[in-house]
Amino acid sequence: MLLRHTPKEITERKALAVNPAKTCQPIGAMYAALGIHGCLPHSHGSQGCCAYHRSTLTRHYREPIMAATSSFTEGASVFGGQANLLQALLTMFTTYEPDIVAVHTTCLSETIGDDVNQIVKKAQKDGTIPDGKYVIHTPTPSYVGSHVTGYANMVKAMAVQMAEQTGTSNGKVNLIPGFVEPSDMAEIKRIAGMMGVESILFPDTSGIVNGPLTGKFNMYPKGGVSIEELKGTADSIGSIGLGAWAATDAVKALDTQFKVPGQVQDLPIGLLATDRFVDALRTMAGVSVPDSVTQERGQLLDVISDMQPHLYGKKVALAGDPDQLIPLVEFLVTIGMKPVHIVTGTPGKAFTKRIKEITAKFGDEINVKGPGDMFLMHQWIKNEPVDLLICNTYGKYIARDEDIPFVRHGFPILDRVGHSYFPSVGYSGGLRLLEKITGVLMDRKDRDSSEEAFELVE
């Protein structure tokens, strides 16, 4: 195995990433677009790009991901892709009948300089876009950012290009989740509903990429935020963005363009981050926290207390998206664990600063890098072994090579199921995370225990 040749000695690398802890912008944009009801994502570039992005999402969610492409050839690469996109829009609206098309660019269309805004305006002027149908668009070249920034760009496009202010408040709160599972989006809606808060969650992939098997193919499942709800985001009483990297741009756009006040919170992963989310809902909507929410919080606290002997002092390595890692690291510190190696592939200096603040009590013992890669993570682990690794499926090679208990979390997860059905956010999501973490740690203890130390009750 090639990983067995990963050197322990760390050399500074500036121009090379080995197994980066991220994927490209269009995947995030495509996923966000799926969160609009009746939407057909469109990749403005070559067929190969679209095929890769669709296949990655399909493998993660085990659902057929529908998306279209401008199908660039050599001619479009030289002379521009306007004709391709115009023809694609005509074909999509006449053949597949979406309510809205969400166009994202690729490396190729960005490099040759296609003006997608101008092309869409021409399509509207020529009548290519039927009355009552919509097209939104955003730039997402793969050579900058990551799937998280691509997601953020598409969500901002939803806010800027779809919101319409009527002057009459709808009394709702806009909830803008980061790049999370459809199960997480459903849980965020559930928490708001338990508190009696009317909300507009966008995007919303619940019911779309985790829908039931009915025996019938439905190109546009029932789920997703509706076009009318997107328009109504300009009349909401406020916005709460969940995840600074993925949600900040949309929150700011609604504030700047429509004077909808907003705030950005961490994703509600773990105890403290969920507390902050619940409090933000409470204050923005002017409601009180019901006993049902308090009870779920108490259940999480109960399990934390019960499992403390198995968690305290355990060293953890993590890789993933910054919006997920920040509250996840905070949760691990809260339950007595020690995150020692943290890597994200998404750029942003604020990530390192936040992680250092959360882990301040450990001083300089913490390794953190953003952007970094899985190769560096493996080197760190070789120099300082850990008790647990938390990251996406690509971490299984390091976990096997170094014989480390492994919890799959983040994107993509290609070799397990459940992530699209069981949330990791909220108090109930914290319970699931805790169950997974304690499960692998206790499995390891059982595996390594001598015969006389192999206990029935832990």
β-strands 315-320, 388-391 pairing: parallel
Q: Backbone phi, then psi, for 55, in 5-degree steps?
A: -70, -35
Q: Among 33-37, 259-263, 451-455, which stretch is predicted with the lowest mean pLDDT?
A: 451-455
β-strands 173-177, 134-138 pairing: unpaired
DSSP state of 196: T
Domain ranges of the chain: 2-12+305-451, 25-150, 173-292
CA atoms of 233 and 65, how far apart (whole Å): 27
| pLDDT tens per residue, range 213-253 | 999 999 999 999 999 999 999 999 999 999 999 999 999 99
User: For position 3, what pLDDT does the model report?
Assistant: 66
Is a pLDDT exceeding 80 seen at residue 170? yes
Quote the tokens at residue 234: 């300009």
The model's confidence at residue 458, banded by pLDDT at 50, 70 and 90, is confident
| pLDDT tens per residue, range 374-383 | 999 999 999 9
CA atoms of 158 and 422, how far apart (whole Å): 27
Percent of the chain with pLDDT over 90: 92
CATH number attached to the domain at 25-150: 3.40.50.1980
DSSP 134-183: EEEEE---TTSS-HHHHHHHHHHHHHHHH----SS----EEEEE-S--HH
CATH number attached to the domain at 2-12+305-451: 3.40.50.1980
Of 18 and 437, the one with more pLDDT: 437
Say how many Å lie between the first and final Cα of the chain, rounded.
36
Nearest to 314 by CA among 199, 229, 188, 434: 434
Sheet holding 238-242, edge to edge: 199-201, 173-177, 238-242, 262-265
DSSP state of 317: E
Whole-prediction pTM value?
0.96
Quote the tokens at residue 109: 């269309």
Asked whether the domain spanning 173-292 has the same topology as the one spanning 2-12+305-451, the reply is: yes
How many other C-beta atoms can be found within 10 angstroms of the C-beta atom of residue 263?
Answer: 14
Is a pLDDT exceeding 70 seen at residue 1? no
Q: Backbone phi, then psi, for 351, in 5-degree steps?
A: -60, -50
CA atoms of 253 and 136, how far apart (whole Å): 15
Domain 173-292 - what CATH class? alpha beta
Of 348 and 104, the one with more pLDDT: 104
Residues 6 or more apart whose CB falls under 8 angstroms from that of 418 comprise none
The model's confidence at residue 2, banded by pLDDT at 50, 70 and 90, is low
Percent of the chain with pLDDT over 70: 99
CA atoms of 368 and 187, how far apart (whole Å): 30
| pLDDT tens per residue, range 298-344 | 999 999 999 999 999 999 999 999 999 999 999 999 999 999 999 99
